[in-house]
Amino acid sequence: MATKYHNLSHYDASKVPDASNMKFGIVVSEWNSDITTALLKGAYDTLMKNGAKEENIMVSYVPGAFELTFGAKALAENKKPDAIIGLGCIIRGETPHFDFISQGVTKGFVDLNMKYSIPFIYGVLTNNTMEQSVDRAGGKLGNKGDEAAITAIKMVQYALELQK
């Protein structure tokens, strides 16, 4: 569903599992930091609101969106969380750079999900304008960070249920 028809921060709290026994890694791009800081706040606050413990949320930073894949892999291998959320913001410019970075990060997260037995959640905004990014980082369309955190909680629960 297109974001313009769905607020990224709206979810049915009754359908979100308790996250009190879950561990999360969050990798945040420093590029477009005004946006990624807002995404991080959304993700972090949503995890806490749904029971995650502060000591079970590990946050790390990488220079840009392209580096999110390596950051997520390193976090998975060294800290062993139950899920990893990648947060970034790529805004279209005048060159094809946007396309290369967006495709690379997307493929990187697909590859991580195929290689590891934990979920890697793609919380990367790929917008045409800064205004669109602001709208999706706590603005009128909600916060992609909230959505990524809810997805992470639900996917950890899904993985736990498959182990039974």
- Of 123, 113, 147, 155, nearest to 17 by C-alpha is 155
CB atoms inside a 10 Å sphere around CB 117: 9
Q: What is the rounded CA–CA span in Å between residue 143 and residue 40?
A: 9
Query: What's the token pair of residue 50?
Result: 């749904």
Instruction: State the sign of the Cα–Cα–Cα–Cα dihedral 49, 58, 3, 36.
Output: positive
Which residue out of 97, 107, 128, 158 is catalytically annotated? Answer: 97
**Kind and range of the H or E element at 86?**
strand 83-91
Cβ-based burial of 2 (10 A; exposed 0-12, middle 13-18, buried ≥19): exposed
**Active-site residue 6, yes or no?**
no
Residue 63's CB is within 10 A of a number of other CB atoms, namely 11
Catalytic residues: 97
